[in-house]
Amino acid sequence: MKLPKYVRIQGRELAWKTKKPVEIFILNWRRIRDNIYSPEDVKLYNETHQWFLEHLPEPPFYGDDNDNPQGAITWFKTDACGKMLGKITPLVDLLDKYNIPYDDALVMDMAGSLEMQAAYDSTTELLNSGAEFTALFTTSDTNAIAAIKAIQDSGKEVPRDVSVIAIDGLDVSKYLTPTLTTMVQPAEEMGCKSVEILLDILEGRGKSRRICVEATIREGASVRPL
């Protein structure tokens, strides 16, 4: 199969700890664990796995006390992107060969920028790439505003052609056309928890830790009903 430049290949199976969709390496590794793959396919997986270990930086969140307890390879865009796609394709072919369901999650490249212009440019690039998609999730309301503008400038409509949802909950998102559907972050609770953790560290009662807080969805008109 031909892969777009920015993509996360994830399964419809969930990780045991995070309850999030597992990525392509874990999808394949589970079949090896269960003795489903042939010896030749196991060899292919091991060779591919080793290549990624040697050519990509190791993420800093390996171990038990994090979201990646299995040490799964998590890779980012690097100068070796073309080689990466070539190396990952055989693992996708294994998923197809053994009828393992998976999804391609397109990822926009914003070069680390949080600026609205970067979100606009990235959305425009994605639209012009020919990739087929019907929904877009952004990591902030401001990025969603820029993305909606790019979609509209391309001649498409939100949500008729592309649904857009974000996470933030800024007041400005209520006054867009269409009104943005967004996940509202509990800012006050997040601030209180952060201060609590900081005080615990400073006063020797604890160490840095990760906690989860519940966001709530604020429905707008930027998501097309299914």
Most confident of 8-17, 107-116, 165-174: 165-174
CATH number for the domain running over 116-218: 3.40.50.2300
Express each pLDDT in 167-204 by its tens digit: 999 999 999 999 999 999 898 999 999 999 999 999 98
d(CA 194, CA 190): 6
Strand partners, 11: 102
DSSP 20: S
The pLDDT of residue 170 is 92
CA 194 to centroid of chain Cα atoms: 24
Tell me if the pTM is above 0.75. no
d(CA 177, CA 157): 11
Domain boundaries, the chain: 7-106, 116-218
At residue 5 the predicted structure's pLDDT band, cuts being 50, 70 and 90, is low
